[in-house]
Amino acid sequence: MRTRALPYYEFSEGLFEIDEFDCASVFVIVGEERALVLDTGTGIGDLRWVIEHKITDKPYDVVLTHNHADHIGGAGFFDEVWIHGADADWSNLPVPPTLAGRKFYAKLIADRENKNYAYDRERDIVEWPKEPVKHILQDMQVFDLGGRKVTIYHCPGHTAGECAVIDDKSRILLAGDACNRNLLIPDDMVEEAGKGLERLLALKGTEYDLVYNSHHDFRGFGSPLGDTVLPDAVACLKAIQNHTAAYKKVPDTLAAEGSMKTVAEYGSVQISNLGNADCPKNEKGGNI
């Protein structure tokens, strides 16, 4: 039996964060009639059992913020998932959601954190029983859960199909990997990322008050990102485009020990893997 010891916390009424052993966070939003599961983690242990036996007995939809293995790695344990069309092809990903790819990522995080977790890689990371049926998310699509509505915001940058969601009841933005203090933006997505994050920033105070991203290594488990992170990310992306960004070398925590990467830094935010002539050559780095 796969582990069911996934920590979870109800940090706002009907809104839960599940910690997949520091690999990623899964969020569950529970309404009066339905629920919504945001992401499926790397696929360690029996996430579905935890959701259905510990958090809610309501029917639910599974929404994937983007197609990286630490977010779609558990997708094959669910029957159906929703994902943006730009991220719906999983056939040629840098770290695929294969058994080997998922074990690789889990080991990477365990080695980085130097912790003993309540799971065993051989027992608790297993093959998918099936491929899930994929439904295509649309920008501004609304999931009515009964007494609360969740709206999808396409926010390309981290991936072409990256999406964030806003829960109207809690007034919380769940940003996936669109916004973080340590942000990966592929070479050709800097401009789009800036536009997407500016759009989200403009909604602060009217549609949402707090921001949670999908990795709690730069915030406390169950706690929001700092208020400066989203505006600093927008400012950093503008500086990259304007050729005024300040670059520095920092340790690459998802590479071999001693590896360094070059990041653009602004305030509380670092952005890596930049497609910009100002970024020193052969020193681009990033993370999953």
Does position 61 have pLDDT exceeding 90, yes or no? yes
The answer to whether residues 229 and 211 touch, using CB atoms and an 8 Å cutoff, is: yes
CA neighbor of 99 nearest in space, from 73, 69, 127, 123: 127
Does position 278 have pLDDT exceeding 60, yes or no? no
Pairing of β 260-266 and β 269-272: antiparallel
In angstroms, what CA-CA distances link 100 with 7, 19, 52, 158, 283?
A: 24, 21, 27, 23, 27
What is the three-state SS of 147-199?
Answer: CCEEEEEECCCCCCCCEEEEECCCCEEECCCCCCCEEECCCCCHHHHHHHHHH
Does position 281 have pLDDT exceeding 50, yes or no? no
Half-sphere exposure of 117 (CA within 13 A, CB side): 25
CA separation for the pair 270, 183 (Å, rounded): 6
Side chain identity at residue 209, one-letter code: D
**Between 47 and 241, the higher pLDDT residue:** 47
Per-residue pLDDT of 65-90, as tens digits, reads 999 999 999 999 999 999 999 999 99
Does position 284 have pLDDT exceeding 80, yes or no? no
pTM for the full predicted model:
0.93
CA separation for the pair 126, 268 (Å, rounded): 37
Does position 14 have pLDDT exceeding 50, yes or no? yes
List, in order, residues 6 or more apart from 76 with CB less than 8 Å away: 43, 97, 127, 128, 129, 130, 131, 132
Q: Which residue is associated with the tokens 């002539």?
A: 277
What is the pLDDT, as a whole number, of residue 59?
99
Per-residue pLDDT of 138-163, as tens digits, reads 999 999 999 999 999 999 999 999 99
What is the pLDDT, as a whole number, of residue 277?
44
Q: Which residue is associated with the tokens 């977790």?
A: 117
User: 3-state SS of the chain: helix, strand, coil percent to 5?
Assistant: 25, 25, 50
The answer to whether residues 81 and 63 touch, using CB atoms and an 8 Å cutoff, is: yes
Percent pLDDT > 90 in the chain is 84
pLDDT-wise least confident of 240-244, 252-256, 283-287:
283-287
Half-sphere exposure of 271 (CA within 13 A, CB side): 32
* pLDDT band (50, 70, 90) for residue 274: low
CA neighbor of 131 nearest in space, from 78, 199, 185, 68: 78
Does position 185 have pLDDT exceeding 80, yes or no? yes
Does position 272 have pLDDT exceeding 50, yes or no? yes
CA separation for the pair 204, 59 (Å, rounded): 30
Domains, the chain, ordered by start: 8-226 (3.60.15.10)
Does position 39 have pLDDT exceeding 50, yes or no? yes
> Average pLDDT, stretch 224-238?
97
Does position 129 have pLDDT exceeding 60, yes or no? yes
**Between 253 and 134, the higher pLDDT residue:** 134
